[in-house]
Amino acid sequence: MRVSALAKKRIIYSLAGLLAVLLLALGVFLWKRQQLLNYALQQVKTKLEAKYPVTLTLGPARFTALKTVEIAGMSLVPTAAAGPVAAGDTLLTARRLQVSLSLRSLFAGRPVFSELQIDRAHLTAHKDAAGATNFAFLLKKQGSTPVVRRDTAQGRNYGLLLNQVLDAGFGNVPGEADFRQFVVSYESPHHHLQLNMPRLSIEDGQVQGRLTANVDSVVNELGVGGTIAASDYALDLKLFGVKSSVQVPYVARKFGALVSFDTIRVELRGKDFVPDAQTGGQLTVRGSVAARNFSFFHKRLASEDIVVHRGQLDFVATLGRGTLSLDPGTRAVLNQLVFHPEISVRLKPKLAVKLKIDSDPTATNAFFNSLPEGMFDVVAGTTGTGTLTYHVKADVDLTQVDSLHLESALQPSKDFTITHFGAEDLSMLEREFPFTAYNDKGDSLRTFLVGPSNPDFTPYAEVSPYMPAVIQTTEDPQFFRHHGFMEKAFVGAAIADIKEKRFARGGSTLSMQLVKNVFLSREKTVGRKAEEMLMVWLIENWLVSRTHTLTKERMFEIYLNIVEWGPTAYRWPSGKRGVYGIREAALFYYAKRPSELNLGECIYLASIIPKPKYYKQSFNQYGELRGTTRWYFRFIADIMQNKGLITNNQRDNLSYSVSLKGPANKYIVTAIRDTARTVQPGDTAQFTPLNLIDLLNTGAQAAPAVVPASPAAPSATPPTPRQ
């Protein structure tokens, strides 16, 4: 059937009309869509400017696809209401934004944007010397955060501050975003930060990106990945070095420490904030922090980098006004060691800390393999059987430093044994061994054998019994009873160190001094002290208490034969340098054998053990003991008498002088007394004796520095030290 020409024309006209209608409808749709888009963006601008003191400027917006919108640039500038220096200080700029817009939501008047893409954005934060910023308004949660006056006596509310940061951070995380060539910078009078992110994407809660961070001239190239759920205040992010380990900034300038890691993982599982009109509120957060190949260096901790290959802290932390705490449920992993710490810290008005840490029972091999490198190098590699469990409890308040309390114990299981020692064989103390003496600079002075083949070696039985008795009194009264530690002495030393803000006293027992002198360097660091204590525990609790292969007498014998007792510059006729051991000390000062020393001579030798290089300070230029040293003689003799180490007769016959007949005489005596003078020069030189009252717990009162008019002759009968 043939169609007529008229019918063809009618069909063509109908199609043309329909096309025209469709084109008109499309034009109306596109016009209306653009109009609604402009309206929607204006609504975004109005809402944002109503919520924050800012001016939002958006460039021309257009649809580049059915649901894709492109905005040609934007800027966010704080207004005068944001702060005194923030007005006109641009916070955020971007060259181009691209979003996906739901048409249904657009025509319904409730536009829903998604799949945000930002190109060449720059977030610039500033803080001036007065503390004013162009970003602080972002940290203020609108409408619900209590206004709390700052109380300088109680300190800053860290819970409120962190809660504001978390609210601002999670509240501004887009559901889906793709940042390209994104730069974040921060400037203050003391700090500079710049993050360059070639790309950072967030899609379905998955975060991926790379960035270069320049913080106070410390540059790191980092990778980041993980998940984030903004509505639940939850995240699980991993930060790692791309080409090398990550160097942590700020801590070097602030604390003089160097910190680095290969990978760190941060997990936050939620938060609970309880507001309070008086304090500002309290925040509890739960999560974990884990690091691999974590390295830390500080000169007060150790002379080398402290390295932990695997560490993790699963925490329940509470923060409030001037307070921080790790609550029950917190778990720490150090390589293979597992601890359960509970720590409470008050920062104002002065620091106060309470802590309790208990470890899980750990196999002996795992225990020693888990100790941080750089702190326990001497005992590293020690092997054995059984398990070890550690417990520590401490409480200190700097407003009352003397209230310091400390409990610390390393508990072995019944089947605990040591099959092999680490870098140093601690069992060498049982037999003759070479000892090397060093000066304060760490230079080797001489090496000699501690044993019978050395002609200068003096067995314990051939030393005047006064000597061990005096040294026990001055250095370690419980040596023959304790297992390496005197808790009261250690606490007293810690109190002194805190008060003087330095390592003023060591609180060391003879066992600790022996380990330090034989096996360790002279550096005063926390790491060396920790290793010293662990080595003493091994010696006292294994070699002495369990195997009985090492005796306390042998340990005392070693101590007497290696202790420094005079000037390192002195050279003996044989060429050896320094004064080490009881035989050389007896010869250097008195030209005697160790067995011939009287009580006064032993007290003097014990008095200079803490500071052997200051041996001259005990004497005036005529070789006479100064008044403070004579007082020290009386003080020590009174303690020995009270403890039954010497008899009343020996105490009464104590001589307050010593006869320098050895080479020391020419080092000390520099003048000859003018007997024609009727008035002798005053004794003004100061020599502070060791503070023993709290160490010895004798209850004795210090006597005034009065010198007897006529010193008695030395005692003839030496004591027998108690054991």
Q: What is the mean pLDDT of the chain?
A: 84
- Residue predicted with more confidence, 541 or 67: 541
With the C-alpha atoms ordered 31, 33, 36, 41, is the resulting torsion angle positive or negative? negative
91-95, 239-243, 624-628, 710-714: least confident range: 710-714
* Number of neighbours of residue 316 by Cβ within 10 angstroms: 17
- Interval 24-83: pLDDT, tens: 665 656 667 787 778 888 888 888 888 888 898 999 988 888 788 888 999 988 887 766
Q: Which two tokens stand for residue 392?
A: 């520590």
How confident is the model over 178-194, as pLDDT tens digits?
889 999 999 888 889 99
3-state secondary structure of 253: helix
What is the phi/psi pair of residue 634, to 5°?
-65, -45
The CA distance from 29 to 51, in Å, is 32
Give SS3 for 130.
Answer: coil
What's the mean pLDDT in 285-295?
95
C-alpha to C-alpha distances, 433 to 42, 436, 446, 519, 703, nearest whole angstrom:
87, 10, 14, 12, 43
Q: Is the peptide bond before 349 cis (omega within 30 degrees of 0)?
A: yes
- Identify the bridge partners of residue 614 per DSSP, sorted by sequence position: none
Strands (E), 148-281: 177-187, 192-203, 206-215, 218-229, 234-241, 246-248, 258-261, 263-274
Q: What is the largest CA-CA distance in the chain?
A: 160
Quote the pLDDT of residue 183.
Answer: 93
pLDDT bin (cut points 50, 70, 90) of residue 723 is very low
Q: Given this model, what pLDDT does residue 110 score? A: 72
Contact 282, 290 (CB under 8 A): no
The fraction of the chain above a pLDDT of 70, given in percent, is 84
* CB of 89 closer than 8 Å to CB of 71: no
- Domain 424-696 fold is Penicillin binding protein transpeptidase fold (1.10.3810)
564-608 pLDDT, tens per residue?
999 988 999 999 999 999 999 999 999 999 999 999 999 999 999
Cβ burial of 31 (10 Å; 0-12, 13-18, 19+) is exposed
List the one residue out of 337, 552, 579 whose CA is nearest residue 448. 579
pLDDT at 722 over 60: no
Q: Report domain extents, the chain.
A: 424-696
User: Rounded mean pLDDT of 313-338?
Assistant: 95
DSSP state of 543: I
CA–CA separation, 445 and 621 (whole Å)? 29
- What's the sign of the alpha-carbon dihedral 613, 618, 622, 624? negative
* pLDDT tens figures, 645-699: 999 999 999 998 899 999 999 888 888 876 555 444 444 333 344 444 333 433 3
Three-state secondary-structure class, residue 313 = strand
Write out 428-452 in H/E/C secondary structure: HHHCCEEEEEECCCCCEEEEEEECC
Neighbours of 322 (CB within 10 A): 18
